Chains A and B, each alone.
Chain A
Amino acid sequence: MNLLIRKGIISCCFILITTSLIAQDKFFTKSGSISFVSKGVIETITASHRSVTCVLDSKTGALQFAVLMKGFEFKKALMQEHFNENYVESDKFPRAEFRGQIANNGDIAYTKDGVYNAHVKGKLTMHGQTKDVEAEGKVTVKSGRLGAVSQFDILMSDFSIKIPGPVKENMSDKVTITVNCTLEPLKG
């Protein structure tokens, strides 16, 4: 009986230690920001989002983002309505996700303060379409927290988001996306 209790305690300690070790490898935020700009001939469209979820596993370099499309805020109420209703169809496709990897994860010393270049590769899912995306970014390590910034371009047509004929000339298919997140250590 004594032995059993001892074994139990040891096992429990083992679980606790391993989970806490694993947990320290991961960083997250629920209030990251993503903004986008589409510069057309007549219309420049900008929008921003302030509750982006992001999780990074520093051990493997795995990086994932999730965002609710309806959370993008525009300067014009009508633009926001058109974005959700006519372009990205937020009722049908409420969520966009990125699942990928920091390709050069080995170059980043997560325990040492500094600024590191990151090359990110992965899959972006939006409007029911999944496309491979690559982006250059920077990871800033400072007193246990991570700053992650990146900018990259996507084409609306890659995600079958159609621009209607009459405004095709005025709007750009290219959208520049800017990501800016501060990640905290994820505690078990």
Chain B
Amino acid sequence: MTKITNILLTAFIVAVAGNTLQAQDQDLLQLVKDSANDTKKQWSTAAFKSTRVINGQSMELLGKGVLDVRILHRFGLLSNGADNFFGLDEASMRMGFDYGITDNLMIGVGRSTLNKELDAFFKWRPVRQADGGFPVSLIWMSGITAHTMKWADTTRKNYFSSRLAYYNQVIIGRKFSNAFSLQLSPILVHRNLVTNADDENNTWALGFGARLKLSKRTAFVVDYHPILAGREPGTKDPLSVGFDIETGGHVFQLHFSNSTGMNEKAFLTGTTDDFWKGDIRFGFNLSRVFQVRKKK
């Protein structure tokens, strides 16, 4: 009995000693809990090339200290034909400045020629997707718009608050792979003043945004916002498809869309063209980023 135990014990010792010796020869890094090896949290980055899918906000934020100068154009209907240079003769634009206060908080302001409208928003990411962490990013975005046109009806009492509209949005997004990202973004737009007495002040929509990377620097993007409730009479669901092209510090987003509006209130309550009937217009977003404050 003792002999057997002895043999077993010796065998065990030899086995253990042999193992450790072998391990030392092959992989020193495994001796320490190699921080580069364990599944430490790694933030997921660059789900979209820009902070906008096309019209709607994407799950991306600017880095800390980054200024993004954005010039957006929407042209006339392609169906206007060669006479109107396929809509390029008429352009509506928005100029905007976005800034990253931290990696998880950004603000932006802009002005659109459409309705002479000012807009401002903040976007905050409380939860960020990470390898070995949470599977999705959650983003909160709130904004306000104010149109600065002269009142159409000067005989009635016009309040400043009637110029304003607000929007609140939650973005739930995931970068599924290097090539594919998808996000859902329910949004509520509230207009203080609507056109007709029966029109709803609150408009609800569910945004879908997707990106498919075609190469390292180009991607195909879809941005769709079906209106769920409170539709402004006569408006359609905004749908845009396009390509992101990245060249150094620039991102060009070239797309085809049925909407002209370039802020959330404008494209969710003012898109009157029907994409499926061919009422499509060309547009582009041009984004140029500047690192205005050092990261560290």
Contacts and interface: CB of A to CB of B under 8 A. Distances in A.
Interface in A146-164: 164
Interface of A: 1, 3-4, 7-8, 11, 14-15, 18-19, 22, 26, 28, 30, 51-53, 55-57, 62-64, 66-68, 70-71, 73-78, 80-81, 84-86, 89, 91-92, 94-95, 97, 164, 166-167, 186
Nearest to B16: A15
Interface of B: 2, 5-6, 9-10, 13, 16-17, 20, 24, 27-29, 31-37, 40, 42-43, 45-46, 62-66, 100, 103, 178, 216-217, 247-249, 289, 291, 294-296
A75 B290 CA distance: 12
A51 B54 CA distance: 37
Contacts of A66: 29, 34, 36-37
Nearest to A18: B17
Contact of A11 (B13, B29, B217): B13
Nearest to A3: B2
Given A77-B64, A78-B291, A91-B178, 20 more contacts: A4-B9, A15-B13, A22-B20, A30-B32, A51-B35, A53-B29, A53-B32, A53-B35, A55-B32, A57-B28, A64-B27, A67-B36, A70-B42, A70-B43, A71-B36, A73-B295, A75-B291, A77-B100, A84-B46, A94-B42
Given A15-B17, A55-B32, A66-B34, A78 B9 contact: no
B35 to A, nearest CB: 5
A63 B28 CA distance: 8
Contacts of A81: 45-46, 63
A26 B291 contact: no
A62 B27 CA distance: 10
A8 B32 CA distance: 29
A89 B63 CA distance: 19
8 shortest interchain CB distances as A-B pairs: A77-B63, A55-B28, A66-B36, A76-B291, A64-B28, A28-B32, A68-B36, A91-B178
Contacts of A51: 35-36
A11 B6 CA distance: 11
Contacts of A94: 42
